[in-house]
Amino acid sequence: MSTAQVLADIQELDLSLMRDAGTLEGMPEVRELARKRRAYLKLKGEASHLLGERKDIETDLAELDEDELACTAAVEEAQAGAAGLSYHEVQDLEIRLSDLAKRLDKIAHTRTERTEALAAQTQREEKLTGYLTALERAITEETRQARQRAAEIQERMASHRAERAELAAALAADDLARYEAARTRFNGLAVEVLSGAVPSICRTTLSAASLADLSRAGEVGECPYCHRILVTLPEEES
């Protein structure tokens, strides 16, 4: 392979490596995944908040049950001792029973309210759990896809690096050094290919005198305008 061809090929590989590195760096899937993971954590926090609220309601309901048992026992106890009471004692008893009945009413009322709150809370939790499950699945699947895509890019980069190392080994040391210097200077676009009288990057048509200079310099020259390495590739056989 001619030095000109090796230089052009190395540049192709380097540009592809740069593109792939950029793609890996800025993979939109990775940003989207980060966004989903943040949303997931936020929802998890909300779910544990809802759970805490439900536990409170359940505690309230358990306390209502205890209150109700105590009231019912007090009613039974009062009724059991009703026989043989004086007029005043019966009046006291009726007041106590009436108070207990009011307390039981209030307990029943509060229980209805708390039971409704529990149902609403449970519904909110179920909705959130469903959303969390869907988000979890999406994150798992998208992570798998992103890893696969990254792995494909990394594989391609590894094979391009190997190919590049082989080509670089085939170049004379000063040609390689010249290429590396131009690559740094021109941000990757170090080598122009001459097509007729027009270099492929700066696209400034060369004068007849410049073309004559170039052909004297051999297959690897320098563009008189942009000073990139200018190569002439042998015509491809069709």
Q: Which is nearer to Zn ion, 107 or 191 (CB)?
A: 191
Q: Tell whether residue 189 is a contact of Zn ion (CB under 5 A).
A: no
Q: Tell whether residue 199 is a contact of Zn ion (CB under 5 A).
A: yes
Minimal distance, residue 40 CB to Zn ion, in Å? 52
Q: Tell whether residue 221 is a contact of Zn ion (CB under 5 A).
A: no
Question: Binding segment for Zn ion among 59-67, 101-109, 173-181, 197-205 (CB under 5 A)?
Answer: 197-205
Q: Tell whether residue 57 is a contact of Zn ion (CB under 5 A).
A: no
Using CB under 5 A, count the residues that bind Zn ion.
Answer: 5
Minimal distance, residue 215 CB to Zn ion, in Å? 16
Q: Which of 17, 136, 225, 233 binds Zn ion (CB under 5 A)?
A: 225
Q: Which is nearer to Zn ion, 125 or 219 (CB)?
A: 219
What is the C-alpha separation between 38 and 76, in angstroms, rounded? Answer: 58
Under 8 Å between Cβ of 199 and 206 = yes
Interface positions, 8-47, toward Zn ion (CB under 5 A): none
Minimal distance, residue 45 CB to Zn ion, in Å? 59
Q: Is 226 exposed, middle or buried (0-12, 13-18, 19+ CB in 10 A)?
A: middle
Minimal distance, residue 225 CB to Zn ion, in Å? 5
Question: Binding segment for Zn ion among 45-53, 128-136, 157-165, 194-202 (CB under 5 A)?
Answer: 194-202
Minimal distance, residue 224 CB to Zn ion, in Å? 8
Q: Which of 71, 157, 190, 223 binds Zn ion (CB under 5 A)?
A: 223
Structure tokens that stand for 198 in this block = 């027009």
Q: Which is nearer to Zn ion, 13 or 223 (CB)?
A: 223
Q: Tell whether residue 202 is a contact of Zn ion (CB under 5 A).
A: yes
Minimal distance, residue 1 CB to Zn ion, in Å? 23
What is the C-alpha separation between 230 and 220, in angstroms, rounded? Answer: 6
Kindly list the residues in this chain that would bind Zn ion in the complex (CB under 5 A).
199, 202, 223, 225-226
